[in-house]
Structure 1
């Protein structure tokens, strides 16, 4: 039975304001007919427009054809000569539109001079010989594009119609009524960065999609730029690994990006658009050392040459300098000399930009990215010119390392964010599937936004696929942050899927996504081999997990939960019409099934080892076979993905090995010939809770809030999928904390002991900026709180363990009065925004496991 509800033909929302434009199959007296009965309107574009407007008019015509079968003519003309035209343009570049504005027939006052704003309006009798017109006017070229493509989405053409093969439901007619005025986007520059493309996008492009070129080139970038535009983005960071031809080595690529109105930005290690990871761009033998202290002329010449060819296009320029690719600054200079050198680099770069752009330097978009060692240089006194945007970064695992402090919030250039959904590096890669929860993304991006990061958001999306859902959340948030809060953002992806595949499925989608993200929160599928990369030899080998088969049914429950959602996606796909199944598999089915099989592979290998050591040889053999079957299932899933739709995505999907990962391989198994096989009972029994207690964070007995420090329960994060947030992310970016700013209390039972050991699991945030901390207080029975301040050094052992498990762990011991019939444990606000995800109280009964028991009175 068909449950699709396409983007919606009843009163539809033209984001971001209250819906005033409607799209329908039925005629109404005030509606404009785009298409019906194999005929319809023509689309008019002025010859004075930027090429983007003409291109988007063509995309819109294609979209109408996808929906109705009729493709409107696109006419590039200063005269409108049909009775019912669609007219798209920008203020000052379309005489027909400007005349309507001057006559008061189109109200464009609100958007004039604005950034990427648009008006959509049906106008009666706009000119002689024209009965009714659908007018889409932008404050600028991208504003016009967003207005027209918003109508495409309302008609039922998803931004992912090509990249995720979302089917378009046929409609007999399309009628549009009403008017709409958009706001400016919340974030000025919004884009994606293609990275670590070695195992997905590059093989697919070079072997399948752009085989003639054998590289990621203009044909691929045309599809990428169209996707960015449809997601209401405006910025691209091109692929830059050694395996890929550098963006500017294929001259057509920059022309393609410009034709889509897409601004080119570059990563933190590509100053002034130069990709030094590519030998065509920088070769040590040909060009010498990438070192401005010893080889400044060669480096300067490279920058000068690049700007001579690229400065006429829209770019955002990375300022400063790092080492080759992702390495630190070369030369082993003392920190004060590094500060001096980078200051000189920036001065010389700005002189080049002034020379090549012909603009005041303050009007040229520039960014400085304090990434890795560049942050140390910045914090040791580097003076970054006030008009340059500071782009703050996460730690590559989703946690913002810092945001602008009160002084930095005053900067003319403002600030931005560089955020990861995919990463190649220590302690372990995650390049395969997208497992970053929407709530974590929201909390960290909004922390930065409220501290002024509204200028530039760049998302590292790896190979683009299968990151579709995470990308949609990111771009929707960047377009309109006010539409979401910590509660609604957790439903964003299920609602999006519901709009594509049917609202009736939304409760299933939400439950499925909650379980998928929760399981990956405690350990991503890529981390299940328990090895660490770029580490000492003992840690670079595959190991058994810390999930326990002996205690609390922990490993069994994890397997059962994964099996349940894998079966759930299979069931949903079986119900769907054939034309929806490929799309759902790409966005949801593959990630869920693949995550299940990766967990099954390692957990059953662990069970094999444990059963073998216990002398249960038949059971060990059975577990070994289960592990091998899981490995084979992953291979089959990859093959299914790559052969989908006649091989459209052939080469895109593989278990990305990174540079030194082992998780993609089979762990060693113990198999005994002649012992046969006997299944192991993996049912989840009752958990023993003798002499320990796990607090249910949702069931508090009292909450005391002081001032702006609001205490809330946030769903969508944590080992049990809710956390206590002590103060919010807004406050985290504005003031330091201290104990005594509020607390939340939980009841405990009688405890037959004189002391208890409390294990506190927090979300491993960084301090919002230098001078703040990550303090949380814990108290028993109204006593003074003991304070946990999660101090760690990035790339140290503590930090590595925290990002692998998404948790910081603290242990505290409290004396108690055993004669009391009940007790109270309190969590005290310290630094605003801290999150507690689990609290275990132990008086001698806690057993070894990875996550501990479930909360009392609750099962997963």
Structure 2
């Protein structure tokens, strides 16, 4: 039974959370410090917006009034004429497009020099005596329409309206008084386009949307767009598995534009066209034919022209705001040809640019465009294909969180660069769609590297069904707004801040700990890549069983679930729906899965040993399989069935990248004649005496040089912390630069040492031919070690692809070195930074005793020793 905390305790938690905000200008404060009362004695201020404002501004004014009501419990009046204003008010407008805002500037009551001309800049300021009979006003002014939207919704978030208030049912704490401190605050994004890709959405999101909204339609997208804007995102690739955003619902196109969303299409859907449209007679009257530019150019060009003409059909001479994908891939998201057809693709882009220029009646360079260098398309870039300078080049990760390539040339190109990242994927070596397996420390490391290397124009992340990946989505879009603000300290407290916003200050530390541990454990290996044979099981013993690696993983998850259950007792009824979605279900379902496979492994082992204890584990497997279905059902029933269908992803007993198609229980067997209610006890297997394990963060000395500093990043990788040299994006160093970490190990007897270095998997983003570091023991010369994970994402056939698959399956990469003729005693290991994008996690030292070589000597030395003796 959950413990119910009083509203007084919750209020204290929120007051504590807002105390520091009272010291910042133009910020929300829950204490009366002489600021502007936004809500006073439960009554919120009215919101003033022009009737002539852009629809996106009118909408956000209405939304903000609703947010004020969520916080205060009372309605906020929406005003459209300043003549009706006799009290303090909230004014929302765009610079140069709102007479009241421009009037305040002309009267020297408002300065906007810091945001004028900025992309999506905003300023929040308390203005004294803005108009006759009005003492003060809160003015939110944007350099453009989205700037005004982001400034407004930033206040909502500070008041306690979580961006996830709808998509995760995070409750809003009622406040009787809310103030805005005096002064001004301004901000603008560091990354131009920041968005998500809804993908792989069948059967889960599609099934849920069908029940909730009647389909993947404007009803659903209005909720998605609202979330995106509250997270300060501005861009989306819509769902595309057999879906066509602009066609499926006639309301979609105008909805996106009226909310201020920039529409795009995925990496293989050029010219605003969904690939599903190619097969629709209504959109492709010519009948389509082969998706082959060499043989069917005219039909394809006509199809693309229709997409750009639709973009221009807004009716006021301006386009629906879009970032147009150019280039071409093959049908069904496959390569366009077997080779690298640079000339053909250059012709494709040239023809697309002509269509854009003709349809818009403007130079093509005035329409924002992006070329996605996804999978084999990167080969075109690597081999020298060029596109016009105004096109944004979108690099990609390997679908598993490792960025493949980053800019090395044309750094200052007009269109700039971006990154397409993955939180979800369908493909080799295995689909991962079911649950959140993203560690935000990894996201931070890869996206910080990308930003430092110049990818600052577009960040888009594949979020699959959107739920249950709320936490990493929140992090990704927050970081995209200002990567420079997310330093080591901000990363370390991100889970705490997220938990505080969602559940209040009193529960923040406990819930943050659960979220962080879950992120580390789940990222270790995707659940679709786990079965009863995944880990070393242990040994059959009497009376106790000796548990191996599987036992360690099982124990971690059991302890995490137990800790979650303890925190759950402190959660209020109002908070429980959000707690279940964001904390309980992810932990309980993964813990249950590990227990099921752990039990299946031991059932198999004990059946082979004809040990009756096998029956005990058979019962566990059957119980866990049933519980998995129960947890899914509970998710679908939470909040009166609001999320029915959202977690319907197959996640058990995969045998290939996309098989099976339904849940199946692991195979178990029973030993007949034996009892099932036997008690089983475990003891862990002990580590070999000749093996020493050192966490990378447990270095004896860090030698910093060349402007680089070794830094421990907690919750990066599977050890105590990932260790890397910051800042990222710097040139290679060599051993002589002395950028190294020093470790100490014990050689128990004369012999050799085999040293394994475990690292987070990363890729050569420069195209040099591998990622390097150097190792030395004692005063011996350093040895260069390197690896090159060839991440095409296209299969596992070549040795390079197999090495990449192994690294992403295990979420680690290893390097090995051997040192011989080591005398007994303490020895120093030095690991030298050579290349960027190296993340150290652990060192494993296996010491082996060998026979010491006999010392040789000469006759002359023998006689000399005799003459030198005292009794000569």
The normalised TM-score by structure 2 is 0.89
**Which runs of 5 or more structure 1 residues have no equivalent in the other structure?**
530-542, 846-860
* Equivalent of 1:546 in 535, 543, 564: 535
Quote the offset at 1:737 in angstroms: 5.7
Superposed CA RMSD in Å reads 2.4
Measure the CA separation in 1 of the matches of 2:16 and 2:354. Answer: 51
Quote the offset at 1:118 in angstroms: 1.4
Instruction: Please give the per-residue CA displacement for 1:740-782, whole angstroms capped at 9, x wherever unaligned.
Output: 6422221111332421222222222111212263112222223
Which residue is 2:859 aligned to? none
Measure the CA separation in 2 of the matches of 1:746 and 1:352. Answer: 61
Does residue 774 (structure 1) correspond to residue 771 (structure 2)? The answer is yes
Measure the CA separation in 1 of the matches of 2:380 and 2:564. Answer: 48
Measure the CA separation in 2 of the matches of 1:737 and 1:51. Answer: 57
Quote the offset at 1:515 in angstroms: 2.3
Which residue is 1:300 aligned to? 301
Which residue is 1:22 aligned to? 27
Show the 5 A alignment for 1:691-730.
691-726=690-725, 728-730=727-729
Which residue is 1:566 aligned to? 561
Measure the CA separation in 1 of the matches of 2:818 and 2:547. Answer: 23
Measure the CA separation in 2 of the matches of 1:390 and 1:676. Answer: 65
Show the 5 A alignment for 1:436-835.
436-529=438-531, 544-550=533-539, 553-616=548-611, 618-656=612-650, 659-661=658-660, 664-679=663-678, 681-685=680-684, 687-726=686-725, 728-731=727-730, 734-735=731-732, 741-771=738-768, 773-794=770-791, 795=795, 796-818=801-823, 820-835=824-839
Quote the offset at 1:624 in angstroms: 1.6
Which residue is 2:863 aligned to? none
Does residue 134 (structure 1) correspond to residue 129 (structure 2)? The answer is no
2:498 partner SS: helix
Aligned residues, how many? 814
Instruction: Please give the per-residue CA displacement for 1:521-543, whole angstroms capped at 9, x wherever unaligned.
Output: 331222213xxxxxxxxxxxxx6
Contact 2:244–2:275 (8 Å) recurs in 1 = no
Which residue is 2:654 aligned to? none
Measure the CA separation in 2 of the matches of 1:737 and 1:249. Answer: 57
1:575 partner SS: coil
Contact 2:589–2:631 (8 Å) recurs in 1 = yes
Instruction: Please give the per-residue CA displacement for 1:664-718, whole angstroms capped at 9, x wherever unaligned.
Output: 4212112223322255645444723311211233332233333134323332122
1:318 partner SS: strand
Does residue 315 (structure 1) correspond to residue 309 (structure 2)? The answer is no
Does residue 10 (structure 1) correspond to residue 12 (structure 2)? The answer is no
Does residue 60 (structure 1) correspond to residue 64 (structure 2)? The answer is yes
Contact 1:78–1:94 (8 Å) recurs in 2 = no
Contact 1:12–1:23 (8 Å) recurs in 2 = no
Does residue 120 (structure 1) correspond to residue 124 (structure 2)? The answer is yes
Measure the CA separation in 2 of the matches of 1:117 and 1:12. Answer: 24
2:822 partner SS: coil
The 10-residue stretch of structure 1 (153-162 or 680-689) with the greater mean CA deviation from structure 2:
680-689
Show the 5 A alignment for 1:83-232.
83-207=87-211, 209-211=212-214, 215-232=215-232
Moved over 6 A (4+): 281-285
Which residue is 2:239 aligned to? 239
Which residue is 2:249 aligned to? 250
Measure the CA separation in 1 of the matches of 2:15 and 2:803. Answer: 46
The 10-residue stretch of structure 1 (697-706 or 287-296) with the greater mean CA deviation from structure 2:
697-706
1:182 partner SS: strand
Instruction: Please give the per-residue CA displacement for 1:569-628, whole angstroms capped at 9, x wherever unaligned.
Output: 222122111000110111121111111111112121111111111221x21111121122
Contact 1:403–1:769 (8 Å) recurs in 2 = yes
Quote the offset at 1:512 in angstroms: 2.0
1:730 partner SS: coil
Measure the CA separation in 2 of the matches of 1:520 and 1:721. Answer: 15
Which residue is 1:273 aligned to? 272
Does residue 839 (structure 1) correspond to residue 840 (structure 2)? The answer is no
Quote the offset at 1:10 in angstroms: 3.1
Which residue is 2:852 aligned to? none
Measure the CA separation in 2 of the matches of 1:690 and 1:584. Answer: 44
Measure the CA separation in 2 of the matches of 1:360 and 1:48. Answer: 30
**Distance change (3 Å), C-alpha of 1:38 and 1:838:** closer
Which residue is 2:395 aligned to? 392
Contact 1:189–1:233 (8 Å) recurs in 2 = yes
1:756 partner SS: strand
Which residue is 1:539 aligned to? none
Which residue is 1:358 aligned to? 361
Measure the CA separation in 1 of the matches of 2:323 and 2:693. Answer: 50
Contact 1:64–1:72 (8 Å) recurs in 2 = yes
**Which runs of 5 or more structure 2 residues have no equivalent in the other structure?**
313-318, 540-545, 652-656, 796-800, 850-872
Contact 2:746–2:825 (8 Å) recurs in 1 = yes
The 10-residue stretch of structure 1 (125-134 or 289-298) with the greater mean CA deviation from structure 2:
125-134
1:387 partner SS: coil
2:729 partner SS: helix
**Distance change (3 Å), C-alpha of 1:689 and 1:291:** same
Which residue is 1:534 aligned to? none
Instruction: Please give the per-residue CA displacement for 1:807-835, whole angstroms capped at 9, x wherever unaligned.
Output: 112332210323x3222222122212312
Which residue is 1:857 aligned to? none
Measure the CA separation in 2 of the matches of 1:721 and 1:622. Answer: 35
Measure the CA separation in 2 of the matches of 1:346 and 1:739. Answer: 47
Quote the offset at 1:195 in angstroms: 0.5
Contact 1:47–1:78 (8 Å) recurs in 2 = no
Which residue is 2:334 aligned to? 327
Contact 1:727–1:829 (8 Å) recurs in 2 = no
Quote the offset at 1:728 in angstroms: 4.6
2:232 partner SS: coil
Contact 2:16–2:505 (8 Å) recurs in 1 = no
**Distance change (3 Å), C-alpha of 1:246 and 1:229:** closer
Contact 1:119–1:147 (8 Å) recurs in 2 = yes
**Distance change (3 Å), C-alpha of 1:382 and 1:13:** farther
Measure the CA separation in 1 of the matches of 2:390 and 2:734. Answer: 31
2:385 partner SS: coil
Quote the offset at 1:323 in angstroms: 1.1
Measure the CA separation in 2 of the matches of 1:26 and 1:781. Answer: 61
Measure the CA separation in 2 of the matches of 1:250 and 1:659. Answer: 30
Measure the CA separation in 2 of the matches of 1:765 and 1:791. Answer: 9
Instruction: Please give the per-residue CA displacement for 1:106-148, whole angstroms capped at 9, x wherever unaligned.
Output: 1212111111111112222211232322211111111111111
Quote the offset at 1:552 in angstroms: 7.1
Measure the CA separation in 1 of the matches of 2:722 and 2:132. Answer: 63
Contact 1:392–1:415 (8 Å) recurs in 2 = yes
The 10-residue stretch of structure 1 (122-131 or 86-95) with the greater mean CA deviation from structure 2:
122-131
Contact 1:737–1:772 (8 Å) recurs in 2 = no
Contact 1:369–1:391 (8 Å) recurs in 2 = yes
Instruction: Please give the per-residue CA displacement for 1:181-205, whole angstroms capped at 9, x wherever unaligned.
Output: 3222011111111000002211000
